[in-house]
Structure 1
Amino acid sequence: MKMKKLLALFLICSMVLAGFGSAVTAKAEEAYVDVTDSKSKVISVKAGETTHVKLPVVAKREYITNPGIVAVPESNAPFVTGSVTMTKENQTTPVLGIDAFSTTYLEFDITVKDTASIGSYTLNINLTFLTGDLMGGFQSMTSSLPITVRVTEEKAPIQITIDKISYNEDNAAVGNNFELSFDVRNDGEIASLNTYMSIDYKESGMIPGYTVENIKIGELKSGQTTKISIPVKVLASAKEGLQLISANFTYKDSEGNEKSITKSIYITLQKTSTGVSEKAKLTIECNSVNDKVLVGSSYQLKGVIENIGKQKATNVIVSIADGVGVTNGIIPKHEAGGIKVGDIAVGGKHNFTIPLLVTDNASAGLQEISVQVTYTDSEGETRTAVTKTYLTVIKPEVPEQTGEVVISGAVQNPSSPVVGERLSVTFNVQNNGNSTITDVTLSGQELSSAGFEPLDSQAIRSIGSLKAGETRTVTLDFKVGANIAEGLNTLTIGCDYLDGNGSKQSVKTPIYILNVINDSNSKPKLIISGYTIDQEELKAGSTFDFTFHIKNTHMSKSAKNIKVTVTQADNVFSATQGSNSFYIPSIGPGAEYEQAMNMKVKSDVTTGAYEIELTFEYEYDGMNKVDQETGGVKTTDKLKLQAMENLRPSIQNFTVGMYGEMPTVGMTSSMTFEFINMGKSPLNNVRFSLDGDFTLDNGGTTFYLGTISPGSPEYVEIPVMPNMEGSASGTLYILFEDSTGEDVSHPYEFKDIFVNGSYTPEFPIEPDVPSVNIDPSANAPKDIMAPWIFVVMQLAVLVVFIPVVRLVVIKIQKRKLQKQDSNI
């Protein structure tokens, strides 16, 4: 007695807990969705490109409501995916779920990295959704659909080249200075990042006219060219002739992989400079090249001017070429006319300093500056010399300000919202970024389409700022709209804010609202929530038990006086007993009804999937005027079953031997039989092959017969040759194609076929016997008839006898077939 009380208490507690509609997480044991087109399971993409995917899927037996869908690549996949959305053909409104009877498209983008290699990778489409349980609550289910992403084309790797090498051949002389220029180009299809260049002068006798060893080039996109000019000094100890120097490049790809490459540069040095002038001639050279300068700071550009002519240079002025501040944000801090140096005698040198201001707006990276000197030669002519120097402008690194908002822990009140009443939703807002976010506002999004209404004109809640890692609890109030669907609904919460960089950001998070009650305009909806069959294959002519579950999805109304009709358009599946309709008194809110029907597969069906339609006609309490006038609600639900044709090839009257004679080893004989298609579908491209103690003697491996119609007997004679004497056996294989084009093989075994050994005639030796002459005509009886008459009579008997016997056999076989079909 005590045990019964404890058991009753346990059951009551279980029912009470189930009534709260709490969610339980359960892992799906099988995939709940499937791709309708097998070709869509393989997606072809190219390196460096973004491909839009439209994946056709259907639910497997059970309707999936408002699933959360994420596309997750495998760990080593060279691509990323965007958010997944659901769409349907010819539907502009939001798709709320995935059903088993129409195609839903999962659409998303796949962005492939530039460095992706050709290969196949797995992409898992993960779904999370709620489904009802037997206790009236909800379970959170997870399911994964794997597809294959195939990278079909790679991008050409980074290829750094140099071109258009130029220098003044007169200045490239022993003991002189010259300027070396060339183009650096990326001939690959992948951008070269963080590119640096250094020059190795080896044993050439040349040294750099600058101080920075690694010159920063920065990013080189595919096909992009950057011009490089560097000052070079030629030592007095250098040798004339062709000299080799190397340009070494280091760079990174988009994945951060560092690589390097070396290019050769050939320079011809003159013995002495051919550029010496009889007049005054000035050269200008900067002492430092490619110094690093921080934005907002000053810089002293220093250099030297030398007179290599044979006359004095007068009125010498050094300056920065016009336009430098416009092009790169570096401004010279000298008078408009430049810095006056005065006169420089023959062989004289003068050191100069030009103050520069690197503004806050200066462009980061390597910047080119042209320094010029103007002077008057001995003949009064104004001349100019120009050199180029470089600065690397550096901007202070500012850590990226990120703000990632996460909305979680949603709780609804009340647990069963009613149309027209208030619904409060409380949730946590957390800043998962590394900086403070400001102007944080939260609101309901797309309320009208979701069936909710704001309580005031603003319907926005502002919470100010959120520091990094901070969490706030927020409550938003809504009104449950009159047109909302009963049961499970989705409410979207939007969050707008300014991130650490001052950029406006927004996120949307769906929240499930459970157990919505709407008695005013709703009516029960009946669906097929699942089905089973008791046969592994539904063959033509067979019977099977079809069990299905009818579910009332309404949460508060019952369906009454229900009439269910099961039909198939081509009558492929039909009820074996009684009518194809049955009646159900009622199905309560959220309840299911199980029904089993014994059905028969049409005997002449061909292999394929056939649609079954279930029609529901029912009534409910509080029917609206339209339903009352039409006599209730009428809806349909559809599903498909796979049927298989019944292939029944038969062999009768099997014999081996030509004209009834016993076969002999090594001699051609015949294998004869009656071949009958006892099924209801044609057998296409029928042919035969042999295995065992006989081989085909037609020069091939098979004997072709053709297409055999249902119920048609065919007399078959196959030329064969025995391979052994004595009792022989083997297998005759019947090969053909079914209605779907699939190859089918049926074996027919035979045995105890006696085969004669090979025959070699022997002639005995006659003994020596005296010959006796005998008259052959003496006492010989007279022939009853002439021999030719006897032969003609025998042939006539055969011509009449064989067709008669064949006709009798065919009639006997047809009677057997008709008797078997009537028993099916």
Structure 2
Amino acid sequence: MKKFLVYMCALVISLNVMGVDVSAEASKSITYTSTISKDTVYNGTDFTITLDFTMDGDTPESAMLYLDTNESYSISEGYNIRLSKSDLNSTYTLHAKCIGSSKSITTKLTSEDITTPIEGTILINNIGSESSSGSSTPTDTSKYTPELVIENQEIPTANAGSDIDLALKLKNAGTYTAKNITVELIPPTDKDFSYETNTISLIDKIQQLKKTETAELNYSFLVKDSTPAKTYSCQLKYTYFNLYGDKVEKTQDIYIKVRKGFPSVDLRLSEVTNDPEIIKAGQKVQLSFLVNNNYGLSTVSALDVTLEGLGKGFTIVDGVNGRRISNLRPDAEGEKVTFDLFASSDLKKGSYPITVNLKYKDSSNAEKEVKKEIYLMVDSGNTDIAIRNIKAPTGQINASQQFNVSFDIVNTGEVKAEDLIVTVKGDEEIVPMSQNIQVINEMEVGATKQLTYKFQPTEEAKTKTHLLNIEIKGKDEAAFTTINQYVGVYVKAKKENSEGTSSKPIIIVDNFKIASESTQSEITNAGENFDVTLYFKNTHDSKKVKNIKVSLGAEENTDTDKAKSGSVFTPVESSSTFFIKEIAPGQSIEKQLKIFTIPFAASKVHNLNLEIYYEYESDEKLLTETIKDAIPVTVIQPSSFITSDIKIPESMFVGEQTDIEFEISNTGRTSLDNFTVQIEGFGSTNSRTYLGNLETGRTNYYSNEIWINEEGEVTGTLVFTYTKPDGKEEEVRKEFKTVGQAMDFGPSEGDMGMDMGDFEMPGQEKKSNKTLIIIISSVAAVAVIVTIIIVRRKIKKKKEMNFDE
């Protein structure tokens, strides 16, 4: 080895003696001179800087020019400029503006052909503020203000009872340097926010931040478990100076979100059931539910469960309003509590709240109380009234001739009907000759009531079929859907009676049938087709009618939107006019039509108008007649609704509570009555919620607390039910899923508490973990170093032994 080094030294000396250059090839260089367009510049002065380049060797393809203006000059071309080969072979002009007090600009020029950057200085005669009238005005340096902001604005989240760590990045987003920076975190001043700081100080000191530079800020504090779940506002207070010593003070709001944590005691009600499931007035009902403490961390004792809010609809059957639970541990499944109640006989259909009062002693033997509310749904039963055996004149009624209309009202429902108001109304040319409003106080299930009304056409009554509307209303409109039924009576005008009632044949609509394609009933949905069958009858006993032309018409939709206006009914696959060759005396002719209902038709009874033109012979003369009639068609709007996004966590701890919240909007054109939301597959505070009637275009808000009781994938279902305008109940189901994870509470420690030494809150890390990792890493590193030293010594010793041999 020594010989090799000797030979190398000799070689180098020989080469030097022989004059061989062993250094690198001389690099190319660029020099340049600068010219300022103005001899003197002031703050706000615009001027140009011209650079004249000189090459020592070939011109490089490109170069980079870096300018440091010490924040005293703004350069329009930028501060990092790439110069092309053509720029280097000519003069290059910079457009500058004086904004500070420095008298020089430092330059640095680099290129791939230049091994060492070329640095230089451009001198500028900067005298600050411009003189005026022999006096100088001092420069306002406060305008050179840096702008400090927090760059990452994501809202940190923590559970109540755990640590929250704020890792913030402070950035100088302005143009000027900030010095002597002080940042103070001011925690939320909200009285509900309770915390303990984990850091030595909430104040940070930063020496300097230049333009675009950033600094890390870290704060940590414990959010106490008594802090309610919501978003809180805290502040960062900045104090710093610009390069001229001007002080700047500002604040910036920072938001933190607190979620519900794990309080020491959190009593819940679950598996709320009532038997029977549908409660009716005057019935006994058994109310049961589980009281559990699975969401708390310590045992409660002497737990008394009582009911409040009784007497307004429900009463205790056995007279004992109270149940005692001796103790309730967090790891217990819960205690079932049952009350026997009686629903008052005068209860109406609806949802009735009952308050459950939970009074207990906590682990420190302090008495506490919490109240939970549950709802009992009362259904008054199905009140179903039918109109049967309608009797009205089938022949011709002359003007001023009285006639009777009678019918039967039958209670076909499941419960007694009360306070029914029955009204029969005709048009303005048909007047009642008896009381046209009758009240039925009560009707037992299956009972029949016959009612008779007397009417008379006025002398001005026109020749046509006049419609009479039979309407049945309930005193409680929310519990009883109004019923409408129509009957037609043909009236002959007075002026035509003198000619003799038998001389002129009359065509009447003897009967009609309506069949909806979707509802399979006489009620049709707006925007859909329905079939109508018309029976035209010639009432004359000897004369036939011929060349009959029937024209269809309908009332106009009354919507103010012109795009939604137009005729309510339109014939499908046929014209609005059809022809019948003839109808013999006393004969009926059947005609079937398909009609389309416009989508914007209002939910009510609309008339399908008929104009009947026909010819007949009298005294060997051909005469004509035109009669108008109308067919009532009940139209309803299809119901629909949407919900906002239904969000739950992708995974949940067994027994962990989470909020499920969303909005329900009625997007249809009809009211959704008795709207109810039920949760299946999950535990919930209120498994069935009654929201009432949801009017068209309105939005209602739904909120509930849910939890899971098993591990693995759990599927839940939201069941939406409501009553449609035709009285039928609609059900819509939506599924949602999550994954259940086990929550380990650790071994129990007696009835009055648990050993919380090994219990770690979700979202928390044991602070000792970091220390333990550092110690283990240090020991491992020392062991590696010692091992290397020992091995090297053994190798060295072995070599020495070999050398001695």
Please confirm whether the aligned pair reaches a TM-score higher than 0.5, indicating the same fold.
Answer: no
- What TM-score does the superposition give when structure 1 sets the normalisation length? 0.31
